[in-house]
Amino acid sequence: MFIRIHSGSESVLDIVVTWNTRDNTKESICEFGINGLEHTVKSNKPPVAFVDGGPKNAKQYIHRVTLAQLQPNTTYRYHCGSRLGWSAMYSFRTIFEHSNWSPSLAIYGDMGVVNAASLPALQRETQLGMYDAILHMGDFAYDMCHEDGSVGDEFMRQVETIAAYVPYMVCVGNHEQK
């Protein structure tokens, strides 16, 4: 399971949780809360099947739910999955927008599985709460599609250690052609 969160289109206080599974669990559920798992959101759409373009045509399922209208400047814990199984527990802190708010961002491109020189610092600084969001401006994994997508899977496992804790926004680079 690979987990990523990002801010929703409606509001910075809407957090979208995205994860992938190898099995079709048929439902996508996120349980979350401040003191426990007091809230549950279930997607009203089935997970989307994604077939890798490599020789094995490996299939995985993309799940997405929105945690809407959260409280500002609040730490939420969450896990996601289905009645067939749950991820580990993760957490994120919502932002507090005010008149002189100045977000702290990490912005980079070109991070692969091999020689991800920035990853240890990003993991440490994210988990110390130093960033409000991370922007990865394309070129992931080198390349996501290599080795029947297993390079992409390894990349997602590596970035989960940051992307599950802070909004991780991405755009497409020239290595995301396939």
Residues contributing to the site for Fe ion (CB under 5 A)? 110, 139
CB of 177 to Fe ion, least distance (A): 12
CB of 18 to Fe ion, least distance (A): 23
Check: CB of residue 164 under 8 Å from CB of residue 5.
yes
Q: Using the minimum distance from each CB to Fe ion, give the nearer residue, 8 or 138.
A: 138
Q: Tell me which residue has tokens 């997508």.
A: 149
Residue 3's beta-bridge partner residues? 19
CB of 71 to Fe ion, least distance (A): 38
Q: Using the minimum distance from each CB to Fe ion, give the nearer residue, 6 or 175.
A: 175
Measure Cα distances from 59 to 34, 51, 71, 85, 151 in Å. 35, 4, 36, 19, 15
CB of 109 to Fe ion, least distance (A): 6
Cα-Cα-Cα-Cα torsion 129, 157, 66, 173, nearest 10 degrees, comes to: 90
Q: Using the minimum distance from each CB to Fe ion, give the nearer residue, 52 or 139.
A: 139
